[in-house]
Amino acid sequence: MEKTVTKENKMGVMPIPKLLTTMSLPMIISMLVQALYNIVDSAFVAQINENALTAVSLTFPVQNLMIAIAVGTGVGINALLSRNLGEKNFEDANLAARNGIFLAFISYIIMAMIGIFGSRFFFLLQTKDAQIIEYGTQYMTIITVASAGIFMQITLERLLQATGRTIYTMITQGLGAIINMILDPIMIFGLLGFPRLGVAGAAFATVTGQIIAVILSLYFNIKKNPELNLNMKGFRPNRQVIGIIYQVGVPSIIMQSIGSIMVFGINKILLLFSSTAAAVFGVYFKLQSFIFMPVFGLNNGMIPIIAYNYGALNKKRIMSTIKLSIAISVSIMLIGLLLFQLVPAQLLGFFDASPHMLEVGIPALRIISLSFVFAGYCITVSSVFQALGNGMYSLIVSVARQLLVILPVAYIFSRIFGLHMVWWSIPIAEIVSVLLSTLLFRRIIQLKIHPLPNEEIPSA
């Protein structure tokens, strides 16, 4: 028997500033903890040697691909769930949740096979350094073969987010990240009786934290999420539901996967200069996550609010949510810009940066961070596209930014001007992204939001 709920969901009635704070703050906190983990993780790996740091940095496209698949599918699940809940259609909401869990499992199987058979080949494509290849193969194999943790964790957390229970996602994400940070030095350096595992220890610490987070996420969904029934007994995949999930999710998956292609391409360009340049790029991604993660957390809280109120035909709440989200995102990015401009040497110092790494890294961080404020606006607008079921707009912007601008500009600049100018490809691409995002944003407002009634439709 399916659960039925008649109480009005808070996403339709709570004041927008309070609602956005309630929905987003737990995710912002948990993502800040995760970002801190990313920094601490690489800081420990850097203590092995610079090749270990480079190897982990070169694995980033694979990790990003897994996150892209999980998060992109989650975006599709979240949008469909929130819309069904806004329409008070709880049976279809349960169907979306169960098919989402099924898709997470299938995604894991695919990535595990890629890890088993393709890890060494992936590193042979990038470098001839035997130590980097060995470190990287160990790390990539472990994180892919045990990737059930990341796929199921993200999926189960999206189910909690779709019903407004983001406090539980803060607990699961935060606990997983804290466990990672605790286990990192123990497994990497062989403390407390553990064998010294080196780079492999960092990978084992990561997947252990993810698996524990999955267990806790499942518990919260079963015991604390009454609007959804996740009983998989007698489950059969529903092609129509999967199609709707991927209609929104696939553009998001492709959009974020393009980031993997971009990073792989930039790493190839940087390795023409030195492995240190590639390590700096990897360090940048770890550091910038501390700025970007809160924005992603904010937008993860924003998406179900917009989707719910779109289903409920509430124009005023949609526009209020969008405006407030853009203002907060840009403010967060401004803080990040100031940080990267004022103390880049101190930031690099967390990773045992050599004099050569400082020489390469300080100008790199200052140049790339010029794109932050633009990125805050674009990330939020892209999330609005996804919430309203127009993930293809997000894909168009992402392809233009990362494939049509960053990679060609970086390659041309590397050939003509040298390493220093490669970093300018990112701010240039972000300006293009702002222009394109604004054009598409105005179009979606005219097509989807303006036709909505000006007055709130009373709930049945």
On the question of pLDDT at 429 being above 90, the answer is: yes
Structure tokens at 266: 């930039």
Could you tell me if residue 225 is left (phi over 0), alpha (psi between -120 and 50 degrees) or otherwise beta?
Answer: beta
Q: Find, among 354, 364, 32, 28, the residue nearest to 166 by Cα.
A: 28
The two three-digit tokens of residue 330, written as one number: 């840009």
Cβ pair 374, 426 in contact under 8 A = no
Q: What is the mean pLDDT of the chain?
A: 86
Q: Is the pLDDT higher at 229 or at 380?
A: 380
Q: What is the mean pLDDT of residues 344-370?
A: 92
DSSP-assigned states of every residue in 180-208: HHHHHHHHHHT-TT----THHHHHHHHHH
Tokens of 129: 């350094």
Measured distance CA(248)–CA(384) in Å, rounded = 12
Crossing angle, helix 50-58 and helix 16-46, to 10 degrees? 140
Instruction: In whole angstroms, give the CA distance from residue 414 to residue 263.
Output: 15
Per-residue pLDDT, 332:
93
Q: Indicate left, alpha or beta for 86 from its phi (over 0: left) and psi (-120 to 50: alpha).
A: alpha
Q: Please state the rounded mean pLDDT for residues 360-387.
A: 92
Q: Look at residue 243 and tell me whether its pLDDT is greater than 60.
A: yes
Least confident of 133-137, 166-170, 277-281: 166-170
Does residue 423 surpass a pLDDT of 80?
yes
Q: What pLDDT shows up at residue 458?
A: 45
